[in-house]
Chain A
Amino acid sequence: MILRLAWREFRLIVLSPLAWLLMAASQLVTAWWFLLLVEQYRTRYEPVVVQVNSPMGVNDLVVLPFFGSVLLLAMLLLGAALMAMRLLAEERRSGGIQLLFAAPLRMTELVLGRYLAGLGFLLLLALPWLVMPLSLELGTVVDRGRLLSSGLGLVLLAALFAAIAMYASSLSAQPTVAALVTVVIGLMLLGVDAGARFMGDYPDAVLAWFSALNHYEPLVQGVVSTSNIAYFLLLSAGFLVFSVRRLDALRMQV
């Protein structure tokens, strides 16, 4: 049931013009950023690297900054915001949700079905970002292991963002509010650590643990640890549980 719901929703998302617009825009922006990094490496870093005989190469100076860039995170968050608008909020506003509320569905099935559809879209959005660094293989050697680890990081980040979008979508019947809530929660999770740094009582162990960047960056650097994976899975599951509870309450208005 969950997979049937997910597949149907995913098809609808992929058929919508807005999704294609976002994918095109994201591709344009990230490709430009990637090109800039490659160009910068060629003209500025390469001579220096050769001169000092440094072990650094494209993997550290192009691929790492590419996956670590705010641009990618912003695009992913934008995709999540778009998902928040349509996963539930739109249907709640139009009254279409009544069909689902009266149907013989468990809210867990509905949430997981929609979540997987949203996650599927975010992964589709992120797929070209993994392919672009591979194109460097035309001229040099790319560290496939690190690329894979970065890919895992992106998948986990997408899983978290999709869960946030799902929860935000269950909070409000206004699509724009749902999108805004997604962006706010997403930015908070990404930057909670940086905020603490400004407050002066850094390092704060709790806030540092909650920061998504602290768990994403090691993955981009090629460090795959269970604690980082667990962070993403735990938080995603948490937001999904909140969504189910929220929908159960909405359904019966208890």
Chain B
Amino acid sequence: MTDQMLLDASGLGRWFGDRRAVSDVDLQVRRGDVLGLLGLNGAGKTTTVRMLCGTLAPSAGRIRIDGLDLLDQPVLARARLGYLPEVPPVHPETTVEEYLRYAALVRRMPRRAIAAAVARVLERCDLGAVRRRLIRNLSKGFRQRVGIAQAIVHAPALIVLDEPTAGLDPHQVSGIRALIAELRRDHAVLFSSHILSEVQALCDRVTILHHGRQIYSGSPQGEPNTNRVLVRFRSSPSPQMLVSIPGVESVERYGEQGFVLTLMLDTALDAVLRQAVEHGWGLLELSPVRPTLEQIFLELTTGKEAAA
């Protein structure tokens, strides 16, 4: 059950006339996974998300939600999907509770199940206090919560959120993030964003889109770089001493007591440790250096820009 594939999209592409908005995008999300869709504005995030949610026909490719093809069995597949568009699709003139009932209704929930589902989602999204207020009178943060609530009221397998934290204040952002972190327990979540720290904080995997193409897909931490290690000592040696160790190619200072060593030989790390013990430097930390998501992102997007 746990690694059931809830979203399986392959070879997605979409053309608007002669303009290619997205091509060759493959996305897989399993239950319990959070996948971040990262890209600059105009990279094709919303186009991709809309195709996944069945509000834009793909020009190429195939989408399966919980094993059901979105184009062949649209009604069944859509019932397993919760979608929050960039602008929450709320009705300003209705109350929160009334609107959520409606959202449950259009998802074909049986009449008897609706009241319980709405009560559950009100509690989960912390909307109990505003349940009888008109949505028009709510703050943007609350409206966004209502938007998320409508996406999960029918307990869908897959939840797709398009820029869920755009335009919110830091307090509201952290609230929404906590909610997403909680949603992952029972659902597969896919969300798009152009905020790196957010993707890094929430996602298990990240897919980066650039000019409509998928240029990276993997862990938000990046693959560890075995050639570079971070070391930290209690009583720091001089950089000259470190660089004189055989196999150490270069040394950069990192913070107060740390150094980032670039190693040439596999045996170099042993030599560094031996020296540390002999001279009593007092090793505090030794870890491989992982590229940050920002580094990955900038490297890939600027690289492509130059190539294009």
Contacts and interface: CB of A to CB of B under 8 A. Distances in A.
B233 interface: no
Contacts of B56: 252-253
Given A104-B74, A104-B78, A252-B57, A5 B105 contact: yes
Contacts of A95: 85, 87-89
B81 interface: yes
Given A12-B94, A95-B85, A101 B105 contact: no
A100 interface: yes
A140 interface: no
A26 B94 CA distance: 26
Interface string A104-143: 1110000000000000000000000000000000000000
A177 B71 CA distance: 33
A100 B57 contact: no
Nearest to B101: A8
Interface range on chain A (Cβ under 8 Å from partner): 20 to 34
A104 B105 CA distance: 10
B90 interface: yes
Contact of A99 (B79, B92, B93, B150): B150
Interface in A30-89: none
A199 interface: no
A94 B86 CA distance: 12
Given A98-B85, A104-B76, A1 B55 contact: no
A102 B78 contact: yes
Per DSSP, chain A at the interface is: helix
A101 B106 CA distance: 10
A91 B76 CA distance: 24
Nearest to A253: B56
A4 B56 CA distance: 27
B107 A103 contact: yes
Contacts of B93: 12, 16
A254 interface: yes
Contact of B102 (A8, A16, A97): A8
A18 to B, nearest CB: 11
A12 B99 CA distance: 11
Contact of A102 (B53, B57, B76, B105): B53
A195 interface: no
Given A8-B102, A95-B85, A99-B103, A253 B92 contact: no
Interface in B80-126: 81, 83, 85, 87-94, 102-103, 105-108, 111
11 contacts: A4-B105, A4-B111, A12-B94, A16-B93, A94-B87, A98-B89, A102-B55, A104-B74, A104-B77, A104-B107, A105-B75
Interface of A: 1, 4-5, 8, 12, 16, 91, 94-106, 251-254
Given A104-B76, A104-B79, 14 more contacts: A91-B91, A94-B89, A94-B91, A94-B92, A95-B87, A95-B89, A98-B55, A99-B89, A102-B83, A102-B85, A103-B78, A104-B74, A104-B107, A105-B108
